[in-house]
Structure 1
Amino acid sequence: MPVLNERAYLEHAVASVLEQELEGPAELVLALGPSTDGTTELAQRLAAHDERIRLVDNPDAHIPVGLNAAIRASRFPTIVRVDAHSELSPGYAHRALATLRRTGAANVGGVMRADGRTPFQTAVARAYNSPIGLGGGAYHGTAHEGEAESAYLGVMRRDVLEEVGLFDESIRRGEDWELNLRIRQAGHRVWLDPQLSVTYWPRESWWRLARQFRATGAWRGELVRRYGRSNGLRFFAPPALVLNVALALIVAVLQLTGVLSGVWSIVASVVYLPLVAYLLLVIAMALRPGGGRTPRERIWTLAVLPTMHLAWGAGFLVGVLRGARGTVDASRLGTQNTPLP
């Protein structure tokens, strides 16, 4: 479990791991980044009270570096990746291990069930759980079990991880997808079991959400530079939206200044149609049953979806054009999270 500024979530995440029922011995290795909110001290207290918890340092705070440090420090043949901003459902590890044995896969993952405790966070969670929000990735909600492109978190065979070289430490976001690509290219299977679920708590503010998605988009653009069409087509929808918005702004300026007029202005107005369709889609999602329990959640949905799409799309274009160049997700730096109930 890589950990950075997760004081509000760490204890719940750790408890959900240690409460898993397993037939054999297990340990929880926390890779501690340089937190500023008391997370490291909390982790040390938790480790002092449970000998199953082990601590390793991750001074650069990069997720793949921390994951590799934790994997190298671990002692067992199966690696269960967990996240400090998530909680495993009861029976998760037991079923995942059974699925790993049953399918012969190298990596098994489940469904990410996003949840929130404020109107904003709940709106973000609903976007995560919707194919409109994140492009329909299988682990964001599916009932179909079978081979998959990638796995959320993942329960992995250590020998396969070592065979493919662990996580690529040059990648700051999207490290799961890249690892699973190498696993599949090595002739192994990645498996999705929808009976496995993990609760994920999204970012707590608009600014942190935007920073997270910009960084994630930049690294997806970097992965496109590296691996080309190995990336799914759904990843190209947000950058297409960003380009459409930019083109619409240019057309609007030319129309307002009179540079475009008459028939040419009418023809150029076609650029607005996709944006109108997108706006109607966002409104429909906010108003649909389940789009929000309260008016505030529905209003936040109207802001959250474009933020996710535009920030991700803008980051993607930058990543494709010049590479991610060490872009980091700064949405966790210096955060002071509100404790969970």
Structure 2
Amino acid sequence: MPVLNERAYLRHAVESVLAQEVGGPTELVLALGPSSDGTTELARGLAAADDRIRLVENPAAHIPVGLNAAIRASRYPTIVRVDAHSELAPGYAAHALQTLARTGAANVGGVMHAEGRTPFQKAVARLYNSPVGLGGGAYHGGRTEGEAESAYLGVMRRAVLDEVGLFDETIRRGEDWELNLRIRQAGHAVWFDPELSVTYWPRENWLRLARQFRATGAWRGELVRRFGRSNGLRYFAPPALVLLVVLAVVVGVLQLTGVLGGVASILASVLVYGPIVLYVLLVVAVACARGGGDLRQRLWTLAVLPTMHLSWGLGFLTGVLRGARDTVDASRLGSRNTPLP
């Protein structure tokens, strides 16, 4: 478990891991980044109270670096990746081990079920669980078991990780997808099992959400630079929306200044403004749909869905054009989260 500024979530995440029963020895290796909210002190206290918890340092604060440090320090043949912002469902590990044995896969993952506490976080969680929000990947609500492109978190065979070379430490986001690409290229299967479920707690405010999605989009753009068509077509929808918005602004300026008029103006309006109007109607429909929550949650949905798409799309274009470079997910830095009840 890589950990950075997760004081509000760490105890619950650790408890959900230690409650797993697999009929054999287990350990939890925490890779500690330089937290500023008391997370490190909490982690040390948890480790002092349970000898199954081991600590390694991750001064770089990068997720793949921390994951590799934890994996190298681990002692058992199965690696279960967990997240400090998540909670494993009861029986998760045991069921995943059974699926590994049954399918012969190298990596098994399940559904990322997002939940929230505040109206904002509930709106984000609902969109995480919707194909409209995050593009319909299997782990965002798929129901059909079978081979998959990637796996959320993942329960992995250590031997396969050693074979393909662990996580690529030059990739700051999307490291799971890239690792699973190498696993599949090596001839192994990545498996999705909808019976596996992990609770995920999204970011707590609008700014952190925008930062998270911009960074994630930038690294997907970097992955497109590196791996081209291995990336699915759904990743190109948000940047297309950003380009459409930019084009609409340009057309609007040309119309207001009189440069564009007549039939050309009408045609441009239909081709450019039409899709944007349809997108706005889609956002309103999602906010008003059944299960949208109370009025505050629905109002937040109107802001959250475009934020997710536009932030991700803007980051993607930046990543494609110049590479992700040193882009990091700044949404976890300087965290002052409210503890979970």
Which band: TM-score by shorter chain?
over 0.9
Aligned counterparts of 1:52 and 1:183: Cα–Cα separation in 2: 29
CA displacement at 1:153 relative to structure 2: 0.1
In structure 1, how many angstroms separate the alpha carbons of the residues matched to 2:136 and 2:272?
Answer: 25
Matched residues, number: 340
- CA distance, structure 2, for counterparts of residue 118 and residue 81 of structure 1: 27
Give the Cα–Cα distance (whole angstroms) in 1 for the partners of residues 274 and 230 of structure 2: 30
5 Å matches for 1:141-152?
141-152=141-152
Q: Residues of 1 paired with 2:338 and 2:49: CA distance?
A: 24
Secondary structure at 2:324's aligned position in 1? coil
Q: Alpha-carbon deviations, 1:112-142, whole Å to 9, x = none?
A: 0000000000000001000000000110001
Q: What's the counterpart of residue 242 of structure 2? A: 242
Indicate the percent of aligned positions where both proteins have the same amino acid: 81
Aligned to 1:297: 297
Aligned to 1:45: 45
Deviations 1:196-226 (A, max 9, x none): 0000000000000000000000000000000
**C-alpha distance in 2, partners of 1:245/1:80?**
41
Aligned to 1:166: 166
Q: Supply the distance in 2 between the matched residues of 1:165 and 1:136 (Cα, whole angstroms).
A: 29
Residue of structure 2 equivalent to 1:279 = 280
Q: What amino acid does structure 2 have at the position aligned with 1:178? A: E
Which amino acid in structure 2 is aligned with residue 322 of structure 1? R
**In structure 2, distance between residues paired with 1:321 and 1:97:** 41
User: In the alignment, what sits opposite 1:193?
Assistant: 193
TM-score of the pair, normalised by structure 2: 0.99
Mapped to 2, the partners of 1:290 and 1:322 lie a distance apart of 40
Question: Any idea what SS the aligned residue of 2:110 has?
Answer: strand
Q: What 5-or-longer segments of structure 1 have no aligned partner?
A: none
Q: How does 1:307-322 map to 2 (within 5 A)?
A: 307-322=307-322
Aligned residues: CA RMSD: 0.4
Corresponding residue of 2:217:
217
Partner secondary structure for residue 8 of structure 1: coil
Instruction: Give the Cα separation in 2 of the matches to 1:138 and 1:290.
Output: 21
Q: Report deviation, 1:257.
A: 1.2
Aligned mates of 1:273, 1:138 — CA distance in 2:
31
Alignment of 1:75-154 (within 5 A): 75-154=75-154
Amino acid at match of 1:318: T
Letter of the aligned partner of 1:305 in structure 2? L
Work out whether 1:256 is the aligned partner of 2:256: yes
State the 4+ residue runs in structure 1 displaced beyond 3 angstroms: none
Amino acid corresponding to residue 267 of structure 2 in structure 1:
V
Shift of 1:261: 1.0
1:250-283 deviation per Cα after TM superposition (whole angstroms, max 9, x unaligned): 0011111111111111011021111111111110
Counterparts of 1:283 and 1:138, CA distance in 2:
25
What residue is the counterpart of 1:329 in the other structure? 329
- The one-character-per-residue Cα deviations of 1:282-311 (angstroms, maximum 9, x if unpaired) are 1000000012x2100000000000000000
The AA in structure 1 aligned to 2:83 is D
Matched to 1:185, the amino acid is: Q
Stretch of structure 1 that moved more, 166-175 or 273-282: 273-282
TM-score of the two chains, using structure 1 as the length reference: 0.99
- Distance of 2:286 and 2:97 partners within structure 1: 37
Q: Give the Å deviation of 1:187.
A: 0.2
Cα deviations by residue, 1:288-335 (Å, 9 ceiling, x for unpaired): 0012x2100000000000000000000000000110002100100001
More deviation in 197-206 or 270-279?
A: 270-279
Using the alignment, how far apart are the partners of 1:274 and 1:326 within structure 2?
34
Q: C-alpha distance in 2, partners of 1:79/1:258?
A: 63
User: Structure 2: 5+ residue runs without aligned partners?
Assistant: none
Distance in 1 separating the partners of 2:326 and 2:232: 23
Partner of 1:178: 178
1:22 CA displacement: 1.2
Q: CA separation in 2, counterparts of 1:180 and 1:273? A: 39
